[in-house]
Chains A and B, each alone.
Chain A
Amino acid sequence: MTMAESFEQRCIVSGIGQSEVGRRVTRGVLELTLDACIEAIADAGLTPKDIDGVFSWPGAVTRAEGLAPSSPGSSGPGVHAVIDALRLNTNWYSAGPETPGMLAAVIHGCMAVASGMCRHVLVYRALNEATAWRTNTQRVATDAEGVTGNMQWILPFGAFSGPNWMALYARRHMHEYGTTREQIAQISLNARRNAALNPKAVLTSELTLDDYLSSTMISDPLCLYDCDIAIDGATAVVISDAAYAPDTPNKAIHFEAVGSALHGRASWDQWEDMTTTAAMSAGGHLWSRTALEPADVDCAQLYDGFTVLSLYWLEGLRFCGHGESGAFVDGGERISLTGELPLATSGGQLSGGRLHSFGHLYEACLQLRGDAGERQVPGAKVVAVSAGAGPLASCLLLRT
Chain B
Amino acid sequence: MWPIPQIDDDNRAFWTGGRDGELLIARCDDCGYYIHPPTPRCPRCLGDDVHPHAVSGRGRVYTYTINERPWSPGIEVPYVIAIVQLEEQSDLRLMTNVVGCAPDEVAIDMPVQVEFRQQGDAYAPVFRPA
What chain B residues lie within 8 Å of A141 (beta carbons)? 3
Q: Is A292 positioned at the interface, with any CB of B under 8 Å from its CB?
A: no
Evaluate contact between A147 and B71: CB separation under 8 angstroms.
Answer: no
A168 in complex: contacting residue of B2, B65, B75, CB < 8 Å: B65
What is the interface of chain B, defined by CB distance below 8 A to chain A? 1-8, 11, 36-37, 62-69, 71-72, 75, 78-79, 81-83, 91, 93-97, 108, 119-120, 122, 124, 126
CA distance in complex: A155, B95 (Å): 9
Which residues of chain A are near B65, meaning CB under 8 Å?
164, 167-168, 170-171, 219-222
Query: How many interface contacts (CB-CB < 8 Å) are there between A and B?
Result: 116
Assembly CA distance A217 to B67 (angstroms): 8
- Does residue A156 face the partner (Cβ distance < 8 Å to B)? yes
Interface centre among A152, A160, A221 (most CB of B within 10 A): A152
> CB < 8 Å: which of A172, A218, A274 contacts B69?
A218
Which residues of chain A are near B8, meaning CB under 8 Å?
148
Chain A interface size band reads: 35 or more
Question: Roughly how many angstroms separate A168 CA and B83 CA in the complex, as a whole number?
Answer: 8
B-contact bits for A270-306, CB 8 A (1 contact / 0 none):
1010100000000000000000000000000000000
CB distance from A78 to the nearest CB of B (A): 26
Taken together as a complex, chains A and B put the C-alpha atoms of A140 and B72 apart, in Å, by 7
On whether the beta carbons of B68 and A152 are closer than 8 Å, the reply is no
* A150 to B94 Cα, complex, angstroms: 13
Are A156 and B119 within 8 A (Cβ)? yes
**Which residues of A128-173 have CB atoms within 8 Å of chain B's CB atoms?**
139-143, 145-148, 150, 152-161, 163-164, 167-172
Judge whether A146 and B37 touch: CB under 8 Å: no
Could you list 16 A-B pairs, sorted by A, with CB under 8 Å?
A: A139-B71, A143-B6, A148-B8, A153-B94, A156-B122, A158-B2, A158-B72, A158-B81, A169-B63, A172-B62, A175-B108, A218-B68, A219-B67, A219-B69, A220-B68, A220-B78
Q: Is the CB of A172 within 8 A of B108?
A: yes
Q: Which of B6, B81, B91 contacts A148 (CB under 8 A)?
A: B6
Shortest Cβ distance from B8 into A: residue:
A148
Q: Are B67 and A158 in contact (CB under 8 A)?
A: yes
Does A338 reach chain B (CB closer than 8 Å)? Answer: no
Cα distance A160–B95 in the bound complex, in angstroms: 12
Binding site for B on A (CB under 8 A): 139-143, 145-148, 150, 152-161, 163-164, 167-172, 175, 216-222, 269-270, 272, 274
Partner of A164, one of B5, B81, B96: B81
Contact of A153 with B37 in the complex, beta carbons under 8 Å: yes
Nearest CB on B from A325, distance (A): 17
Q: How many angstroms from the CA of A65 to the CA of B55 in the assembled complex? A: 28
A222 to B75, CA, bound (A): 20
CA distance A155 to B91 in the complex (A): 21
Report, nearest first, the 7 A-B pairs whose CB atoms are least far apart: A146-B6, A167-B65, A160-B71, A220-B66, A269-B95, A172-B63, A152-B5
Q: Is the CB of A157 within 8 A of B64?
A: no
In the bound assembly, the distance between CA atoms of A143 and B122 in angstroms comes to: 15
Find out whether the CB atom of A157 lies under 8 angstroms from the CB atom of B124: yes
Bound-state CA distance A75–B75 (Å) is: 28
B81–A157 touching, CB < 8 Å: yes
Q: In whole angstroms, how far apart are the Cα atoms of A94 and B72 in the complex? A: 35
Q: Which residue of A lies closest to B65 (CB)?
A: A167
Note all chain B residues with C-beta closer than 8 A to A272.
91
CB-contact partner of A152 in B6, B62, B97, B108, under 8 A: B6
Q: Across the two chains, which residue of chain B brings its CB closest to A141? A: B3
In the complex, A155 Cα to B75 Cα: how many Å? 12
Known: A145-B6, A146-B5, A147-B3. A153 touches B72 (CB 8 A): no
Is the CB–CB distance between A158 and B96 below 8 Å? no
